[in-house]
A and B are shown apart, each in its own frame.
Chain A
Amino acid sequence: MTLIKKLAVATAFMTAMAAPAFAQYSGPPIKLGVLSDMSGLYADLSGPGSVIAAKLAIEDFGAAAKGMKVDVIGGDHQNKADVGASIARQWYDQDGVDVILDVPNSAVALAVSDITKEKNKIFLNSGAATSDLTGPKCTPNTIHWAYDTWMLANGTGKALVKQGGDSWFFLTADYAFGYALERDTMEVVKKEGGKVVGNVRVPLNNQDFSSFLLQAQASKAKVIGLANAGGDTTNSIKGAAEFGITQAGQKLAGLLVDVNDVHGLGLQVAQGLTFTDAWYWDLNDDTRKFAARFSALNGGKYPGKIHAGVYSSVIHYLKAVEAVKSKADGAAVEKKMKELPTDDTVFGKGEVRQDGRKTHPVYLVEVKKPSESKKPWDYYKILTTIPANEAFRPLKEGNCPLVN
């Protein structure tokens, strides 16, 4: 028997074994890979929690009852684009991974997006922020869930300029994500009539921000925009409080703040901080229920927008595979994901646009005072709900080649 025939027989046999009689999807097992920062500064915002979120999604989708076998594996990209890229290649080429999830860190995400397109698989990003993933770098194989730099900049930038914060100084993380966030915020500030008086590029994982904060102070800008994330953001906010910068009247704009960051800062330091978030656990009964299940599995730590995004994107992916009845052609599954409206208990109803952007309402929030917080992780006051059609960059403005 030739090799081809052997393979054909083996495939037929395996297909027969794997297929229960009435399942809609009867292909081989689906494998999801959560590629994340498992141990560094973004590990609490995404990391092991994203694996938990993916598992909850598979459970809630009822994969087992439908005869679909779905596995989840995790990998640590250590915030290095080369490490992330080589894990992605290995997963796609050797380990049979169909979908890569999460991927905080925009530098890694951009690399993974390219590889995913090359292999015709699917990349469901909710960890990385850069809006380029649905802009000039959009591909038919990548969908951006949860949030992005344009959304953050638009929500927070607009609100602060309207409150009179019309001159800005940026502390920017010195890599793809920081640049994108800075650029998107600058655009909003200028469009709203404000001006940018300066910026400083800070290496990732910087320990002490006081030097940079003093430069921001000397610039006399009314708003100091923190175009950074995770531990870098929390250390900047602490430093600003310590050096009396916020007391002296300059306002801090945390451009990417997660509920886990607020937890790490404590309400005493974080109170009054205004920013935009894509999701909050205390929105309604469904989100509270999700948060309770999640935190029980995550050592008491609550889910943030990225975890919610992973959950929601997995549910939608499985729906699409069920509809297409095959997982083989990544672009075809993604096309189906764009046709079907999204609907899950965590993010509610929404849609995936042509450029790969998943849209939903987002929230302008203010951190509560310690006296206002009534229960564990009760941190946000929701100031405004920004509707889905205003929250994200208009489809035509992103320069995504898929949009015509």
Chain B
Amino acid sequence: MIYFDNSATTRPCEEVIKAVNEAMTDDKWGNPGSLHKLGYLSLNAYLKAREECASVLNCSAEELFFTSCGTESANTAITGYVKANPRKGKTVISTKTEHKCTLETLELLRKEGYDIKYVSVGRDGKPDLDELSEMMRSGVSLMCFTHVNNETGAVLPVDSIVELRKECCPDAAIYLDCVQSLGKLPVDLKKTGVDMASFSGHKIHGIKGSGLLYVRTNTRILPLIIGGGQQDGMRSGTQSLPLASSMAAAMTAAEQERDSAVERVREINRFLREELKKRGAVINSPDDALPFVLNVAFRNFQSETMLHCLEMYDIYISTVSACASRSKKVSYVLENMGIDRKVSSNSVRLSFSRYNTMDEAVRFIEAVDEIYKLYEVNVR
């Protein structure tokens, strides 16, 4: 099997499985909220896991909250911030290439009377900074951006944006979706200067159901899930030690292997770009994109057909566009980057992880060649 769909989800790594297993056995299965010894043991392990996450992200443990997924973190950060800070106004800035968990939250806010402004995005997937600074100057409460785009791998110039904020609207907060950058780019929260950030475990060989929300000290937000007041009231519900431990183990393992992984994946990416271009493919990912994501349009193959062809070779990738049999819907991310619809409808996403190898990339190209021989149809 060749799994090139790591931006969708990843296979839990051994470190994670071990951590989860340990968190469910011995004396650690208690409720961290209980006053007796079992609770105390569980709470201790839970706090240790949080500490471990904090050290990877370079923030303080009190600034982190475990959630169920990236989507929950995004929902909480965006809604929670604007609701808790009404005096900062009702303007939110973002781009149209965000993940749906951000776009849908913003759409809901728009219906509630918030003014949502979208900065245009260029062919390189980056927001237009001139336009952004103009928008910032006219007043803004919150800005929502994605560190690494999940469809193209485009990397946000975080430093420039934080710099611009200092100049144009120092009071505005920044929320950063780090789901695709975690474990692949250095995320140093103290240094970055963002106010909120979201993370997900299962994209870095953790398990589904584990997410993390960062809220910088002194940033006020309202919780989305209320109840018993766990996690300082920011996220009620009994804390899950297995999920917290899995998150910590996944983050530590990813961080330890990050440098070597980036190097290997960069090689794979470079090789695939070159070989696919030779075969008439269009590369949609910007040149300076994160190498873990490669968005590419195959000549004469609609996205879904290529996906199923590769599936026959036990190779797994993803279409980012959903095709309706009559009206073709293409990826809104590619559309907003100004990519032609014809190209978009043939586009697929390959996404890599530290476990992928050059050998797999070579076998991938061999499979593509065979697919062209056997299944290419061009009646148009």
Task: State whether these chains interact.
Answer: no
Residues in B lying within 8 Å of A, measured CB to CB? none
Residues in A lying within 8 Å of B, measured CB to CB? none
